Structure 1
């Protein structure tokens, strides 16, 4: 009965995690489909085709406005990159869409305190700056070009089946947005992205729900190396992302667990590191592998963790 109750409660928790982020999933995948259907490669290269400070700031602002959860943000960032956006800029968009959104700050403020909300926004800006400086030195141009080409070929091969009626001549963005066939294309692309990532989505929510119920907060307390000053801080900011990696949390869904971890001894820095690590949960890493290849995925994972 105990096992059955744990499974039942875990499934219930997973459902409510999904329900709480469903609007962001729908919004994010819809935007992803719209980008693929309406925005040309030339237009994307014009607005997000490099990683200069102005372009990075623009991508960050777009990310804040998009308000996506981790999975939808990954799909949308893929669409931006596939359409011609700079890889670094596309990843900055993903960082902003998951760590600099207003609702995340409000949930943090409500559950833990204003200091965490402030740290989330200040830390998010610092993360974007550091990533923009380091990423061009980590990702070779040849690897990124191969990944973009693979995405383009995959999209082209899926288009006839998944996007019925996709038009080959598209005179302008405005004309496409006013046409029924244009929105049919957008819906087809959105469903194609959802179909591609559905297994990772299901696994992520199920495991996060079960772990939230099955693992008592006191178990996490054993892992926290507390009372040793700097070394405790260092260990906590390393273990915070590791917990996020194995607990499969995503975006706003990780805040309740962050509150429980902080109450059971995880340091302030470790808790913030845990909330930032929504982009390196295992299902997201599997998505990166599927989208960009193994080499880029693991470099992205290491850079996000760092």
Structure 2
């Protein structure tokens, strides 16, 4: 019994080592952007669901936290403060699926084609969601959701979503960023982002390690109807989100499992649909119900699922026509172990950078902020600039 457990842990550890530097780099870049963009600016730009507004919403979401729980909480906060419901949902989708750290990790574990697929599929899914919301959302439903939202029921990562640690003031972007306040802000956002997603990343790696070590490839091939031509391509995007929902893992944490599924024979479009379904995992569905009520939650789930399946199909077709679908079974799942290569050098460099940011975070009194991450949701009257520099 000990042997299989050690094998699962070894696989998880090797995958963690492979993506460590990219996680640090991704969160560092995201922290820089968040340090320069104020949350109050975001709310002002998202008052309707016109295409130009949704484009801004997607861009601002991509520059926000990649933690699914924080993204869901922040979307609720934006909706309460006057953003349109559709714009808030688009922000939420972009925040968890169009972020730089996700793209880097996809390239490392699955290949650059999956990074491209994520950034092609994201806009497709956003357009589909916006179009379907125009059909299924009625004024009464939105008013009921607003009434439910105004109750202020807590979900998860509420305190994190309410914090705005951006740097304002005079001077150029570079001057603000490299000022003492700017560097402190980046360090605080960096540590908070890690604290928000570390649980999901760890759980995702452990699940992926266990699945890779314990579940025979034949099981996945049967589940994904591997080798059945068109039927395989049709089934992948349908079953992909269902596996994601059942995995309880969100945000970047589902990428290691996606690598295992790809090696197991799921279709290219199925991987894309699986990755986007992190906003439909069961704990987040419970939060939607708290935030918006059953009626709106049912529409969110239905619209998101249909958009993810359709998006998976469209990405599959586009990439097939462009001959961009890679050979199956070549994703990195830790079988090769850890060796002294470029990954090791990059990990050393970025761990030193992370240590410097953590040290600045601690010296600036940031430790107390960690205790507030799961705090109460902001009220309508709260300024969106908590802990503002």
Give yes or no for TM over 0.5: yes
Shift of 1:123: 0.6
CA–CA separation in structure 1 for the residues paired with 2:23 and 2:107: 18
Aligned to 1:69: 67
CA contact under 8 A between 2:249 and 2:281: conserved in structure 1?
yes
Asked if structure 2 preserves the Cα contact closer than 8 Å seen for 1:70 and 1:279, the reply is: yes
Separation of aligned partners in 2, 1:68 and 1:113:
20
Which residue pairs with 2:95 in the alignment? Answer: 97
- One of 15, 36, 51 as aligned partner of 1:53: 51
Tell me the secondary structure at the aligned position of residue 301 of structure 1: helix
- Confirm or deny: 8 A CA contact 1:285 1:297 kept in the other structure: yes
Higher relative contact order (CA closer than 8 Å, sequence separation 6+): 2
Query: Which residue of 1 is the match for residue 286 of structure 2?
Result: 286
CA contact (8 A) 1:48 1:55 kept: yes
Residues 228, 72 of structure 1: alpha-carbon distance in 2 compared, 3 angstrom cutoff: same
**Could you say if the C-alpha distance between residues 291 and 228 of structure 1 is closer, same or farther in structure 2, counting changes exceeding 3 Å?**
same
Q: Which runs of 5+ in 2 are unaligned?
A: 160-167, 170-191, 307-389
CA distance in 1, matches of 2:88, 2:141: 15
Greater C-alpha Rg: 2
Tell me the C-alpha RMSD between the 2 structures. Answer: 4.4
Whole-angstrom CA distance in 2 between matches of 1:272 and 1:119: 7
**1:104 shift after superposition:** 1.0
Answer whether contact 2:248 2:282 (CA < 8 A) is retained.
Answer: yes
Whole-Å Cα distance in 2 between the matches of residues 91 and 3 of structure 1? Answer: 45
The DSSP-based 3-state class of the residue aligned with 1:154 is coil
CA distance, structure 2, for counterparts of residue 259 and residue 104 of structure 1: 13
Deviation for aligned residue 1:120: 0.7
Partner of 2:372: none
Q: 1:116 to 1:213 in 2, by over 3 A?
A: closer
**1:180-206, CA deviations, whole angstroms, 9 ceiling, x for partnerless residues?**
xxxxxxxxxxx9xxxxx9xxx97x778
Residue 117 of structure 1 aligns with which residue? 115
Give the C-alpha shift of residue 154 in structure 1: 2.3
- State the alpha-carbon separation in 1 of the partners of residues 153 and 228 from structure 2: 52
**3-state DSSP of counterpart to 2:115:** helix
C-alpha contact 1:45 1:84 (8 A) present in aligned 2? yes
Deviation of the 1:260 alpha carbon: 1.2
- Give, in whole Å, the separation in 1 of the partners of 2:257 and 2:122: 19
1:66 alignment partner, SS class: coil
1:90 Cα shift? 0.2
Q: Once the two structures are superposed, what CA deviation does each residue of 1:237-261 show, in whole Å capped at 9, x if it has no partner?
A: 1111111111112121111111111
2:204–2:256 contact (8 Å) kept in structure 1: no
Query: Does 1:212 find its partner at 2:208?
Result: yes
Contact residue 47 and residue 84 of structure 2 kept, 8 A: yes
- Partner Cα separation in structure 1 for residue 42 and residue 153 of structure 2: 17
TM-score, normalised with respect to structure 1: 0.71
The 5 Å alignment of 1:1-306 reads 2=2, 5=5, 9=9, 39=40, 46-154=44-152, 208=204, 211-215=207-211, 216=215, 218=217, 219-306=219-306
More helix per residue: 1
Does structure 2 conserve the Cα–Cα contact (< 8 Å) formed by 1:44 and 1:83?
no
- d(CA) in 1 for partners of 2:113, 2:45: 34
Summarize deviations over 1:223-249 as a string: whole Å, max 9, x none.
Answer: 111222221111111111111111112
The aligned length equals 271
TM superposition shift of 1:149 = 2.2
